[in-house]
């Protein structure tokens, strides 16, 4: 799995049950975004040849793995969940080092992988089909799930263990095999997850890990005729490319993409609770969540008191290294992500929004070696402004005034995305109306836009996704297909929809 010298640790790909170098011989570095002097390790810069080898291994392994009874497959996954739980703290610390979010959040990321793995392992005995009465005599009718084959799993850096678990575990319990391409910014968490699956007893070739860039690895996976499912989480622009490259071979494509999520604070809201929710929703994970609450729509009658409290609390957030238990918000994941945040802050200024707090990168002193930015709030934002329409993926929140509940709903729905939304109100009628009228895949009442649980479907509408869902039993529909089975025990030809006269 690794090769360690006095200065660096080199990590390998996992193909056909073995930890191997890339045929290219090239590697890339993984460094701590809070401290660029901290070299976590070097990882394989894979090529088409590495990917093809991984697909070969997955295709061969599929022929045996699909025949393993689902309850037996599940037993291995239960063991994997136990191993993740045993190593939770180590995995969380590694994750904080490589992507920056605070330890409480990386512990939550690992816990989500534990929860998902336990939940999906339970589906080894619950992949229910249907049995129905036939319209003909002496005929039995039922439906069963069947696996699809080799699955390509392409994951982002912001939840480097939770999101792989959402995809890989249901793929495995359904009887598929996997080629896994993690984000280049978080390969260690991905490698640790695969190592645990190996230790749990998943056979060679069933799970394969290939690290490297999107063009070198991801494009090969999406174009391959032998890959039957692509499950991708990332930006909408890249998701569109994944869909286009996958289309010629008619493979199933599952896309989970961007968000521009809204919290609506009504005139009857508990303002202190709403402020707490907006802080967590907007600045948790440094705003680097697809479910982040980057828009807050506030009724004009409570706009000023809400804004004053929100700004005061945001200014007080402690920014720093996520390994420090005092830190409340970590760094951006990379220099490029920090530049994106700065670009949008400048856009907000030019658009005429009021910079209520923040707006600057944090440099020098404890921040000198990382990618830090102040928690930033824009006030008096118009719904049409770019900062209120485009996904920033950073610690920038736009506060938009509204005159009524109906206007809040209109503003909330007035973006190209449809992942998550929230309302703070004490009025149950408003809560249910918002629940109905917001066109999103996830909705919260008196809670922020983040906090999904593994036993319910996760996903969005419009430019957020293409109709599939992760988590819950809905994930089984991504990684399996339905087969309808008819057994005629009449001993004679019976013609459905034709031979209907006999009673």
> In sequence order, which residues have a C-beta less than 8 Å from that of residue 167 and are 6 or more positions away?
151, 153, 155, 231, 233, 470, 475
- DSSP letter string, 150-174: EEEEE--SSSTTHHHHHHHHHHHHT
Distance CA 174, CA 483 (A): 14
Catalytically active residues are: 256, 290
Three-state SS letters, 44-107: ECCCHHHHHHHHHHHHHHHHHHCCCCHHHHHHHHHHHHHHHHHCHHHHHHHHHHHHCCCHHHHH
Distance CA 206, CA 125 (A): 20
Distance CA 443, CA 462 (A): 15
Distance CA 176, CA 62 (A): 6
Residues 102, 328: contact at Cβ < 8 Å?
yes
Residues 147, 66: contact at Cβ < 8 Å?
yes
Give backbone dihedrals phi and psi of 421, rounded to 5 degrees, phi first.
-150, 160
The number of residues making up the chain comes to: 503
Residues forming a β-bridge with 481: 146
* Beta pairing class for 18-20 and 13-15: antiparallel
Within the chain, what is the greatest distance between any pair of CA atoms? 88
3-state SS class at 127: coil
Residues forming a β-bridge with 150: 177, 227
The CA-based angle 207-210-213, given to 5 degrees, is 145
Structure tokens that stand for 282 in this block: 């907007």
Residues 5, 71: contact at Cβ < 8 Å?
no
CA distances from 412 to 95, 395, 418 (A): 33, 19, 9
Distance CA 259, CA 483 (A): 34
CA atoms within 13 Å, Cβ hemisphere of 479: 30
Distance CA 420, CA 262 (A): 7
Structure tokens that stand for 256 in this block: 């989970």
Structure tokens that stand for 310 in this block: 């929100």
């Amino acid at each position: 799995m690794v090769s360690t010298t006095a200065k660096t640790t080199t990590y390998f790909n996992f193909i056909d049950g073995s930890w191997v170098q890339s045929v290219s011989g090239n590697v890339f570095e993984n460094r701590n975004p809070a401290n660029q002097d901290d070299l976590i390790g070097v990882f394989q810069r894979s090529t088409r040849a590495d990917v093809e080898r991984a697909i070969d291994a997955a295709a061969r392994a599929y022929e045996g793995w699909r025949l393993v009874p689902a309850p037996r497959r599940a037993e291995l996954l239960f063991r994997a969940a136990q191993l993740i739980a045993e190593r939770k703290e180590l995995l969380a610390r590694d994750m904080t080092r490589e992507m920056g979010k605070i330890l409480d959040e990386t512990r939550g990321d690992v816990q989500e992988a534990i929860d998902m793995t336990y939940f999906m392992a339970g589906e080894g005995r619950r992949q229910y089909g249907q049995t129905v009465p036939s319209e003909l005599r002496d005929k039995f009718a039922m439906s069963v799930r069947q696996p699809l084959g080799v699955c390509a799993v392409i994951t982002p850096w912001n939840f480097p263990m939770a999101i792989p678990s959402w995809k890989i575990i249901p793929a495995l319990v359904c009887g598929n095999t996997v080629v896994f391409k993690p984000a280049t910014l978080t390969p260690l968490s991905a490698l640790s997850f695969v190592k645990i699956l190996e230790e749990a007893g998943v056979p060679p070739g069933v799970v394969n890990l290939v690290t490297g860039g999107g063009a070198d690895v991801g494009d090969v996976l999406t174009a391959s005729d032998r890959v039957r499912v692509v499950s991708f989480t990332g930006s909408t622009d890249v998701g569109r490319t994944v869909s286009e490259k996958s289309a010629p071979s008619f493979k199933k494509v599952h896309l989970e993409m961007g968000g521009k999520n809204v919290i609506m604070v009504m005139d009857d809201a508990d303002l202190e609770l709403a402020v707490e929710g907006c802080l967590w929703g907007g600045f948790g994970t440094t705003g680097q969540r697809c479910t982040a609450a980057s828009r807050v729509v506030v009724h004009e009658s409570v706009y000023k008191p809400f804004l004053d409290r929100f700004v005061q609390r945001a200014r007080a957030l402690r920014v720093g290294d996520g390994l420090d238990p005092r830190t409340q918000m970590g760094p951006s994941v990379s220099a490029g992500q920090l530049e994106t945040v700065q670009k949008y802050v400048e856009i907000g200024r030019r658009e005429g929004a009021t910079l209520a707090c923040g707006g600057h990168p944090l440099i020098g002193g404890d921040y000198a070696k990382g990618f830090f930015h102040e928690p930033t709030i824009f006030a008096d934002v118009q719904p049409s402004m770019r900062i209120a329409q485009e996904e920033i993926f950073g610690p920038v929140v736009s506060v938009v005034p509204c005159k009524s509940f109906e206007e809040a709903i209109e503003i909330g729905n007035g973006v190209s995305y449809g992942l998550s939304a929230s309302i703070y109100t004490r009025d149950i009628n408003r809560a249910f109306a918002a629940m109905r009228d917001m066109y999103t895949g996830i909705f919260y009442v008196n809670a922020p836009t983040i906090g999904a649980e593994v036993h319910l479907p996760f996903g969005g509408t419009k430019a957020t996704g293409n109709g599939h869902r992760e988590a819950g039993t809905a994930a089984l529909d991504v990684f399996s297909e339905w087969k309808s089975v008819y057994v005629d025990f009449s001993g004679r030809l019976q013609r459905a929809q034709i031979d209907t006269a006999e009673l």
